[in-house]
Amino acid sequence: MKSPRVIALAAAASIIATIAFAQDQTAKPTLDDDALHADAINYFQALPTVQPAPANNAITREKYELGKMLFFEPRLSSSHLLSCNTCHNLGMGGVDGLETSVGHGWQKGPRNAPTVFNSFFNIAQFWDGRAEDLKAQAGGPIQAAVEMNATPERVLATLKSMPEYVEAFQTAFPGQQDAVTFENVTRAIEVFEATLITPGGRFDQYLEGNRQAMTDHEKQGMRLFIDKGCVSCHNGVNVGGADYFPFGVVERPGADILPESDKGRFAVTATADDEYVFRSPTLRNIALTAPYFHTGKVWDLSQAVEIMGSAQLGEDLNEQDVTAIVAFLGTLTGEQPQIPYPMLPPNAPGTPRPELMTPAAAVVNSGG
């Protein structure tokens, strides 16, 4: 017969095990994967594996190749140092990894550079949505004094000075008497950028029916992302980017994160309701694109989630919830496009020479 002491120890061990199990069940509630998957496909869509086509700008191999050259072409800038890839580095998640981009004469732009990956699926381009599509966006940084500091006339003089570019434009835009135009520069870049999509991530695999593509912890994060209300602004194929929302619905962040001088979409619409309203960013590849927000002041994704909880939802998310949501956000990293660096034509005798002077220190609202 067992002694009373042994029986007591066994009973205590049983009680401890019961409490531990109960605590574990509290920490990790049972997840209804069928309901979660149904909610996920209701709120989100997987990225297509077929390249999307811009409106009135059909994708052709010739236009794509020209657009790729122009995307990497530093001589579109007056200094011959800056290209589209400088601020939207294809090897770094489509961003430059800076709070705000550094442009001509070491000027700092006013906003963080959004990722170029999957940008085709945004409702508009830039944080304030002032460019309706990628074509309109492509022409902005080239001409902005704080960025590439060029003019359409200088760009065309540069491109027309090189026979290889003249031939490439004629091939990409056949039937045009003068194919080397600034409009065609932006059209070619638009075609290239439209192909920069990142399908095949574990999140997309889950949406398409592979329930094992995400861990239970990541699924719990998605459950919280939906139930807490994050999905109100971050939904659809791009998990964001589809509409405009005020930054600070419940509580405005501090002036370092939301400076009073940058009123967002108000600068475009001059409508009072648009003060401090910004286009919601895509959360795809968010783990690769720090720092965060239009000011680029937040470098840690967990901190960004916490700020969104208080500012947008009015909720102080606990550490466990933040960790789970961040785990879910990690599944939004897709397959990064492999783009070989193109060979660019050499300078010709008539190619405008670089201008390296430092312009006035004024910062204009041209970035992001």
In terms of C-beta density within 10 A (0-12 exposed, 13-18 middle, 19 or more buried), how is residue 70 classed?
A: buried
- What is the rounded distance in angstroms from the CA atom of residue 333 to the CA atom of residue 284? 6
d(CA 333, CA 207): 14
Q: Residue 90 — φ and ψ, nearest 5°? A: -70, -15
Torsion of CA 224, 301, 274, 361, to 10 degrees: 180
Residue length of the chain: 368
Give the span between the Cα atoms of 253 and 258, in whole angstroms.
6
Single-letter amino acid, residue 310: S
Question: Six-digit token pair at 8?
Answer: 């007591």
Which 3 state secondary structure label does DSSP give 279?
Answer: strand
List the Cα angle 267/116/84 in 5-degree steps: 85
- 14: buried, middle or exposed (CB in 10 Å: 19+, 13-18, 0-12)? exposed
CA R_g for the chain: 25
What residue type is assigned to position 100 of the chain? Answer: T
Angstrom distance (rounded) from CA 297 to CA 114: 14
Distance CA(77)–CA(359), nearest Å, equals: 14
- Distance between CA atoms of 59 and 146, rounded to whole angstroms? 31
Residue 278: its H or E element: strand 277-279
How many CB atoms within 10 Å of residue 178? Answer: 12
Contact partners, residue 156, CB within 8 Å, separation at least 6: 180, 181, 182
Provide the annotated active-site residues: 147
